Amino acid sequence: MIKIITLEREYGSGGGVIAKKLAERLGWKLWDQLLTNEIARSMKCNEADVEQREERRDPLAYRLLKSFMRGTFEGNLNAPEMQLLDADCIFETTARVVQQAAIAGNGVVVGRGGAYFLRDRPDAYHVFVYAPREDKIRRLQESGKTEAEAKELVDSVDEERAAFVKKYFNLKWPTLSRYHLMMNSHIGEDAVVDMILAGVALVEKPQGVVSQN
């Protein structure tokens, strides 16, 4: 029985909306903004700080500063405060929160490496949503971005997500073998939700049953 669904997505592919619709159809909890909120609560920091660091490595300048400060007496004294903006700490907290969400069950986890954190759970179903570049740019423009901003975000955000997965899991993003289903959102958000539900039903279908004709 599938108890948790992870949904990884290309930036601008509409994955967040699809996850929301999927959770609504199932009557399950949506772990998207809620996941960010829980991570921030656990780390006792602002949600905005977590949002800036999720699925990303620390910026180069920050990594250099962190390495320098941790080699000084003042840096050791301030280590707890420095961890609030530390991608490594966010990663560790995310791993714990995602695992807790999986144990609770009946949830849809959006991004944050969910498919990688929960790769060994037989009750997890993993989805990857992608889209043509022009669709992603159009969707971002409809949300208020300029064409130039949309193009830059489509390229840079996914590059950061790929670098995040490479750093913390030593895998290429997306790792095809990690997913049960990969869907092109160009077919429509509701159609993608239908296909995900159909895929889950197939996985839950008893194996070895042979129809009698």
**Residues 30-67: tens digit of each pLDDT:** 999 999 899 888 888 878 877 776 766 554 444 443 44
Nearest to 183 by CA among 172, 192, 175: 192
Asked if 178 and 127 touch (Cβ cutoff 8 Å), the reply is no
**Residue in the structure block whose two tokens are 């420095």:** 82
pLDDT confidence bin for 77, thresholds 50/70/90? very low
Strand order in the sheet with 181-184: 29-31, 107-110, 4-9, 124-130, 181-184
pLDDT confidence bin for 121, thresholds 50/70/90? very high
Asked if 109 and 36 touch (Cβ cutoff 8 Å), the reply is no
Biggest distance spanned by C-alpha atoms of the chain = 78
Query: Alpha-carbon torsion 206, 207, 209, 211, what sign?
Result: positive
Within 10 Å of residue 2's Cβ, how many Cβ atoms?
Answer: 18
Helix (H, G, I), strand (E, B) or coil at 71: coil
pLDDT at 211 over 60: no
pLDDT (mean) for 63-87: 45
The fold adopted by the segment(s) 4-14+25-204 is Rossmann fold (3.40.50)
Query: Alpha-carbon torsion 11, 16, 22, 28, what sign?
Result: positive
**Residues 158-182: tens digit of each pLDDT:** 998 998 899 999 999 999 999 999 9
Asked if 31 and 109 touch (Cβ cutoff 8 Å), the reply is yes
Asked if 9 and 16 touch (Cβ cutoff 8 Å), the reply is yes
Helix (H, G, I), strand (E, B) or coil at 166: helix
128's tokens: 């990857």
